Chains A and B, each alone.
Chain A
Amino acid sequence: MKVSIDGLHKAFESRVRLGIMSALAVNEMLEFNALKEYLDVTDGNLATHIKALEKEEFIGVKKSFIDRKPNTRYYMTQKGKKAFEEHLKVLEQIIKSQK
């Protein structure tokens, strides 16, 4: 795992990526457009961050057709879930230790 100096995973350094993971943590699946709405980012920006998370195998893609239109939905993988929970734990520890 690529971990930065404070024990946090590098993939979660970006707020957008953190946002994607948070939204997918509480939703079984989300469409690209729903994520875009929640995060308030451009298509290109979101796509880049999604690619990065996909590369880490933290999220998976499910492509299908609804009324012949392509529909892309994302979900969190087991690996992603583990990494995200780990990230939350470390965040908590850092905040506690700094108090």
Chain B
Amino acid sequence: MRKERDYIQDISEIRSMMERSSRFLSLSGLAGVMAGIYALLGVYIAYHFFHFNPDQIGYTTEQSVPFSSDLPKIIILAILILLLAVGTAIFLSYKKARKRDEKVWNATSRRLLANMAVPLITGGILLLVLLVKGLIGLIVPLTLVFYGLALYNAGKFTYDDVKFLGMIQVGLGLLATCYIEYGLLFWAIGFGVVHIIYGIYMHLRYER
């Protein structure tokens, strides 16, 4: 007969294997904080230098858009911020995974990304259509909605807390569609402040 310690070890290994094979747990809280900081910087630049602050759902003519000449720059800025945030997340996950003796690119992380991809790509295409149609005011709230849906989906394959983060983003996005003139503020709260708070919370809870 084996020792009690052996059985307890068996149980803990069963648990750890179930967790490891179904959830990707190398997401870094610090990546959330960094993404939040990038987002706030981005909002500041867009608002202050490019006067980006859509106050109505759509604009009928090009001339009526107050920030039309800077629109390409704003789009480039948004893409840069996105790349920076994703790059930081990948880099920090890679570091955390190495510490946990896990691979970043494994069956669980692939499943996580595949499940985020559907709402994100749907949202991305819809936003492009809205941009072409001049419905710029809707773009800001809808980025929050689709990002939130992607996070909610992702929550099944990583920390449960991500689900909650997703619900907050969806809620903020829906609110922002009611108050288009405060869209940028909601965006700064969702992508900036909420990310930073979430990141600090995750860091304190799981990474210390």
Contact = CB atoms under 8 A, between A and B. Distances in A.
Nearest to B14: A22
A27 B11 contact: no
B4 A95 contact: yes
A61 interface: no
Contacts of B101: 40
A23 B11 CA distance: 13
Given A22-B17, A23-B18, A27-B21, A37 B10 contact: no
B107 A30 contact: yes
A98 to B, nearest CB: 5
B107 A34 contact: yes
A31 B107 contact: yes
Interface residues of B, number: 19
Interface size band for A: 20 to 34
Q: Report whether over half of chain B's contact residues are helix, strand or loop; otherwise say mixed.
A: helix
A6 B2 contact: yes
A37 B107 contact: yes
11 contacts: A5-B1, A6-B1, A15-B13, A18-B14, A22-B13, A22-B17, A23-B17, A25-B18, A30-B21, A37-B107, A38-B106
Interface of A: 5-6, 15, 18-19, 22-23, 25-27, 30-31, 34, 37-40, 88, 91-92, 94-95, 98
